[in-house]
Structure 1
Amino acid sequence: MKFFHVKTVTETLDVIAREFEPIRPPVELSLPNALDLVLAEDVVSDEQVPHFARSTVDGYAVRARDTFGASDSLPAFLDVTGKIEMGKEASSYLKEGQAQSIPTGGMLPDGADSVVMIEHVEEVDDLINVYRQVAPGENVIRAGDDVQTGELVIEAGKRLRPQDLGVLSAIGKTKVRVYPSPIVAILSTGDEIVPADRKVLAPGEIRDINSITIAAAARQCGAEVIDGGIVPDDYPLFVQRAKELYDRADLLLLSGGSSVGTRDYTEQVMQSLGEPGVLVHGVSIKPGKPTIIAKAGGKPVMGLPGHPASAMIIFHLFVAPLIRRLQGESPSPYDRRLPARISRNVASAVGRSDYIRVKLEEREDGLWATPVFGKSGLISTLVKSDGMVEISANKEGILEGEVVQVHLFR
């Protein structure tokens, strides 16, 4: 076994970033179908948005200088020379001392540089009394204020949100090239594992938790999931099932069977799937040390710990970033972390990264994180937790009241 050559968390993440990339080529989809997928190419605008100056309020288009000094006691008087209609071109030039009625979103006429709100004027036949001055550009969106011609609107590697689809629509981009959702196959292993729908358990049997939790977590990351079921500790059958799933998926996750033991076939199965084989065999982390990462013919294969809490923590640390890599998503310096104060002292061993589960609590003096202790086989500890806190390998622990970064569970 290769646990004597375990890697750090940072080294393991570096392996993922260096070795893996999207497997399937980009596809072109309409905007509604591209939500939550990752853009495969830069989008540059061929036009400006808006392509004309428009009003942000109901009021009157004016020259700002014609309103300077206007007040309740000394209003400015302007001639109303027209009415601008929504969706129509403002064709009449605005001269000095003139104003034109304009609705919200209406096109600003040439000569005007601002809009005075209707609440600040009094209409008297074809005149208005302006009781408040406006500055040039006030209550106006200028042409190109939103997007300029030739501007990089969205970079490749960005996961498309509703607002991103909105700006693409604004520039007339109705189809985009995106990376398809990766397909993740999950295979649970172990003689003791039985399906979750088993009503009566024999002595020594446990219901399969990981295939449910890991599949749900993968779907949250935008992946499609293949449930590979359960395979016993039988090497020929294990290899056969793993190969069948490997051929159908972009990422194969093997749950369980990654600990040191005479019946541990996981590494052998992963090596059999293709070159270069195992890249990481063990991570200096608690829980989750017996984690294996391999590369077979360009595809990633991961062996997750069998204990449910360990498997979920490893998923958040390594599998989620790997799925993002397969989706073509650019690395981000930000993730779902919140600063909080730890509510008690927590000891740790130097030389490994410890991840403790915590529950968040809002107190009068701010956000606090309370450790949720329990063995890695207890799924209930995750149910009670809102996230996890890292105690880095160079620390002997954290002290009560110390500010920590809580990596939130979704």
Structure 2
Amino acid sequence: MAELFKALTVEEARAVLTRYLPTKKTVTKVPLLESLGRLLAVDVRAAEDVPGFDRSTMDGFAVRAKDTYGASESLPAYADISGEVLMGHMPQGKVGAGRAWRISTGGMLPSGADAVVMVEFTEELDKKSILITKAVAPGENVVRKGEDIAAGEIALPAYHRIRPQDLGMLSSIGVTEVDIILPIRVGIISTGDELVAPFESPAPGQVRDINSYTLFGAVAACGGVPQYHGIVRDNHEELRNVLEKVIADNDMVLLSGGSSVGARDVASEVIDSMGEPGVLFHGISIKPGKPTIGAMVGDKPVFGLPGHPASAMVVFDLLVAPLIRSGEYSVLEKDIYMDYPLQAEIVRNLHSAAGREDFIRVRLFLREGRLCADPVLGKSGLIATMVKADGLAYIPAGKEGVEAGEIVRVKPF
């Protein structure tokens, strides 16, 4: 069992958990329209060029670009109209010297043409001839064959999370089914004798359960499948019986409350009794969120999150969310900056203990064109501080605070 509150850094906690995380992923095939938000299990390659032909991006006339060189309003180029491209059909003919074909947006470029003159830069003399008042370069107003994606190219890589635009890419190459990694099922338990369900009226000394609902939403937002398993009292036997079932039915378990050191906090002891390797750490050097339990029961991560709502959400973001999204922790510097992509000017002095990473709830606003971050002050037990905040500002462990006017990295909610 891990020593109580021998606090690890976030990086150390991730490294400890990584040693035990499962490497094998469960894969299933789903229809394309059911794949949104899911992780691809394998690379998807294009079997053909997209588009499969040179096509116009404008309404106008398909021409040989060199026939328009030097054209202007004062000295237009002349061209005979010798054909028209019908939408959805291959042009039957060729664009010769001094010739032009009518073409609509998306039409297939006729043989011999290498550019399209926009209709705005033409003047029809009659039904058989036009004047061109602006020159075009080869390839202008044209999408080339394979310009969107070439045959054999990887359209989407494995472990890519499918977005709306990706559905369009896959449909363009004729993909109607994809292999995805099954989303992680996450069991959620709240512990505490003081907790009651939201539909109950709290008696003196009781509060409604907050964390189960914030965590349920957080899991779903990350692409996981949350499973709510209710409130469990601070009783060793009751918690063990519930936890045993929840671990069996899910890929990961989040247990909020009961991670602090106290006579009635039994979570760490119960989790450690569930199976090897058990509790790997109890405490991480951050604020808020220090009293966090990280464990593995077999190949399933189990987290004991602090009972304070803000603390639980911060720890979820640092340790849980990456595993739900991708099944692993990234060590790439670029991904760290992607997590906290904004740079903002902090508007007040903030103290931070040496050797501790701080995550400050902030409101964001613009001041004279600069993005500013105003700390939302309040205890970590107050859910309102998270509601009022627009994001989290990060203060690294190497600093002992920040002064007003300093630039901090911010992750927007």
CA RMSD of aligned residues (A): 1.9
The secondary structure found in structure 2 opposite 1:282 is strand
The secondary structure found in structure 1 opposite 2:49 is coil
Q: Distance in 2 between matches of 1:311 and 1:99?
A: 67
Q: Distance in 1 between matches of 2:242 and 2:24?
A: 21
Distance 1:23 1:206, change over 3 A: farther
| Paired position in structure 1 for 2:178 | 176
* Partner residue of 1:395 out of 374, 379, 399: 399
Distance 1:178 1:355, change over 3 A: same
Alpha-carbon shift at residue 76 of structure 1 (Å) = 1.4
Alpha-carbon shift at residue 309 of structure 1 (Å) = 1.4
Q: Where do 4+ consecutive residues of structure 1 move more than 4 Å?
A: 21-24, 327-332
Deviation track 1:160-182 (CA, whole Å, cap 9, x = no partner) reads 01111111111111111111221
| Paired position in structure 1 for 2:158 | 156
Given that 1:17 and 1:325 are in contact with CA atoms closer than 8 Å, whether structure 2 keeps it comes out as: no
Alpha-carbon shift at residue 58 of structure 1 (Å) = 0.9
| Paired position in structure 1 for 2:147 | 145
Q: Distance in 2 between matches of 1:148 and 1:23?
A: 31
The secondary structure found in structure 2 opposite 1:19 is coil
Given that 1:22 and 1:328 are in contact with CA atoms closer than 8 Å, whether structure 2 keeps it comes out as: no
* Partner residue of 1:407 out of 401, 405, 411: 411
Alpha-carbon shift at residue 5 of structure 1 (Å) = 2.7
Tell which deviates more after alignment, 5-14 or 309-318. 5-14
Alpha-carbon shift at residue 320 of structure 1 (Å) = 1.0
The secondary structure found in structure 2 opposite 1:100 is strand
| Paired position in structure 2 for 1:385 | 389
Output the amino acid matched with 1:159: R
Output the amino acid matched with 1:377: G
Q: Distance in 1 between matches of 2:354 and 2:328?
A: 35
Matched, 1:353 2:357: yes
Identity of aligned residues (%): 50
Distance 1:18 1:165, change over 3 A: farther
Given that 1:93 and 1:110 are in contact with CA atoms closer than 8 Å, whether structure 2 keeps it comes out as: yes
Deviation track 1:112-164 (CA, whole Å, cap 9, x = no partner) reads 10111112112223121112111111111111111111111111111101111
Given that 2:5 and 2:284 are in contact with CA atoms closer than 8 Å, whether structure 1 keeps it comes out as: no
Tell me the TM-score normalised to structure 2 length.
0.94
Matched, 1:252 2:256: no
| Structure 2: runs of 5+ lacking an equivalent | none
Given that 1:67 and 1:134 are in contact with CA atoms closer than 8 Å, whether structure 2 keeps it comes out as: yes
The secondary structure found in structure 1 opposite 2:8 is coil
Deviation track 1:273-292 (CA, whole Å, cap 9, x = no partner) reads 22211222210111111111
Alpha-carbon shift at residue 24 of structure 1 (Å) = 5.1
Tell which deviates more after alignment, 22-31 or 363-372. 22-31
| Paired position in structure 2 for 1:219 | 220
Output the amino acid matched with 2:348: R
Deviation track 1:54-82 (CA, whole Å, cap 9, x = no partner) reads 11111111101111111222221212111
Q: Distance in 1 between matches of 2:349 and 2:19?
A: 37
* Partner residue of 2:200 out of 198, 201, 221: 198
Q: Distance in 2 between matches of 1:170 and 1:211?
A: 41
Alpha-carbon shift at residue 204 of structure 1 (Å) = 1.8
Output the amino acid matched with 2:317: H
Output the amino acid matched with 1:400: A
Q: Distance in 1 between matches of 2:231 and 2:5?
A: 30
Output the amino acid matched with 1:232: R
Tell me the TM-score normalised to structure 1 length.
0.95
Alpha-carbon shift at residue 335 of structure 1 (Å) = 2.5
| Structure 1: runs of 5+ lacking an equivalent | none
1:104-143 mapped onto 2 (5 Å cutoff): 104-123=105-124, 124-143=126-145
Alpha-carbon shift at residue 202 of structure 1 (Å) = 2.4
Alpha-carbon shift at residue 26 of structure 1 (Å) = 1.2
Output the amino acid matched with 2:146: G
Alpha-carbon shift at residue 13 of structure 1 (Å) = 2.8
Tell which deviates more after alignment, 266-275 or 294-303. 266-275
Alpha-carbon shift at residue 18 of structure 1 (Å) = 4.6
Q: Distance in 2 between matches of 1:152 and 1:384?
A: 42
Matched, 1:341 2:345: yes
Alpha-carbon shift at residue 254 of structure 1 (Å) = 0.7
| Paired position in structure 2 for 1:41 | 42
| Paired position in structure 2 for 1:15 | 16
Distance 1:22 1:362, change over 3 A: farther
* Partner residue of 2:371 out of 367, 371, 392: 367
The secondary structure found in structure 1 opposite 2:284 is coil
